[in-house]
Amino acid sequence: MIRDITLGQYYPAESFLHSMDPRSKIVLTFTFILSLFLAKGAPGYGVAFLFLVLAIRASKVPPRFMLKGLKAVFMIILLTVFINLFLTPGGAVLFQWGVFKVTRTGLETAVFMALRLIFLIVGSSILTLTTSPISLTDGIEALLKPWEKVKVPAHEIAMMMTIALRFIPILLEETDKIMKAQMARGADFESGGLVKKAQSLIPLLVPLFISSFRRADDLALAMEARCYRGGEGRTRMKRLSYTRVDVAAALVVAAYLLALGLLARWL
């Protein structure tokens, strides 16, 4: 049931990508996403595809986990394809039925747009699948650090993310428990109309809210008892450090960008 949902969808394994520093993974993923907007024509997307395949191989995550992320946005991709397919003017008309007209440019735009979206989602899935939520927030905090000069609360943002992420599995477990306890008392969460379904959530939501507040209170007290007072002067047990792996990854991405750039120039 709810236990099966793994949020943050981290897939534990030992691989090249897992051993990278979260900072470089975040930066390189963004580089890849931006590069998708530079890719032109079939060869461009071919290079991007090859790069993705390489990255998936280097992550040791079964490809079906990457495709899981696609399922959630399938409708958006479909909608994009349809809009582009029918509403892009220009080029030879391939097919016409009433007001629906498919042009050559339309078909190309639709296909490339879909590919771009798919690559984008798979690319970012690789980041979240190979980086545990905690090291992801560590990476974000480190990357936001320079912005503290212009009053960006880097530490607070990261701490909020960490706590939120930490609480997701706890709250899921709690939801599961309360749901079962109420089901044992004959509660029915599945059948009935919209109003009845909404009503049936009260026995779940009230205890869940109460326990969330209790936990938040406990956590605040525990943090204070350990002298937590924000990010200033705080040191870390686990320090982020770049290694050879990160240099190698950066070189691979650079090579990929170069290939993409050369292709764009030639075509």
Partner 1 sequence: MSIEIRNLHFTYGEGTPFRKEALRNVNLEIRTGEFIGLMGHTGSGKSTLIQQVNGLLKPTAGEIRIHGKDIHSKGASLKDIRQEVGLVFQYPEHQLFEMSVYKDVAFGPTNMGLSKDEIHSRVVDALDRVGLGEDMQEASPFELSGGQKRRVAIAGVLAMRPKILILDEPTAGLDPKGRDEILGEIGRIHGKGDMTVILVSHSMEDIANHVERIIVMDKGEVRMDGPPKQVFQEVEHLEAMGLGVPQVTYLAKALEAKGCGLEGTVTTVEEAMAAIRSLLGPPGPAKGGGIHD
Chain residues binding partner 1 by CB under 8 A are 3-4, 6, 11-13, 174, 177-178, 180-188, 202-203, 206-207, 210-211
Q: How far is the CB of 179 from partner 1 (least distance, A)?
A: 9
6 vs 96 by CB, closer to partner 1: 6
150 vs 184 by CB, closer to partner 1: 184
**CA-CA distances (angstroms) from residue 52 to 47, 78, 126, 235?**
9, 22, 9, 36
91 vs 207 by CB, closer to partner 1: 207
117 vs 204 by CB, closer to partner 1: 204
The SS3 assignment for 103 reads strand
58 vs 159 by CB, closer to partner 1: 58
Q: In sequence order, what DSSP letters do the residues of 148-176 get, joined into one string?
A: GGGT--HHHHHHHHHHHHHHHHHHHHHHH
Q: How far is the CB of 165 from partner 1 (least distance, A)?
A: 17
Q: How far is the CB of 219 from partner 1 (least distance, A)?
A: 17
Dihedrals φ, ψ of 17, to 5°?
-70, -35
Q: Which residues of 163-178 are buried (b: 16+ CB within 10 A; e: fewer)?
A: eebeeeeebbebbeeb
Q: How far is the CB of 264 from partner 1 (least distance, A)?
A: 39
Q: How far is the CB of 131 from partner 1 (least distance, A)?
A: 16
Sign of the dihedral defined by the CA atoms of residues 249, 251, 254, 255, in that order:
negative
Dihedrals φ, ψ of 93, to 5°?
-80, 125
Is residue 129 within 8 Å of residue 66, measured between CB atoms?
Answer: yes
Which stretches within the chain are classed as H helix?
Answer: 22-35, 41-59, 63-72, 74-87, 104-130, 133-144, 154-184, 194-200, 202-225, 244-266
156 vs 217 by CB, closer to partner 1: 217
30 vs 167 by CB, closer to partner 1: 167
Q: How far is the CB of 185 from partner 1 (least distance, A)?
A: 4
Q: How far is the CB of 53 from partner 1 (least distance, A)?
A: 22
Instruction: Provide the token pair at 196.
Output: 């009845």
Cα 180 to Cα 215: distance, rounded to the nearest angstrom: 20
Q: How far is the CB of 72 from partner 1 (least distance, A)?
A: 17
2 vs 152 by CB, closer to partner 1: 2
Max distance between CA atoms of the chain, in angstroms, equals: 72
DSSP state of 237: S
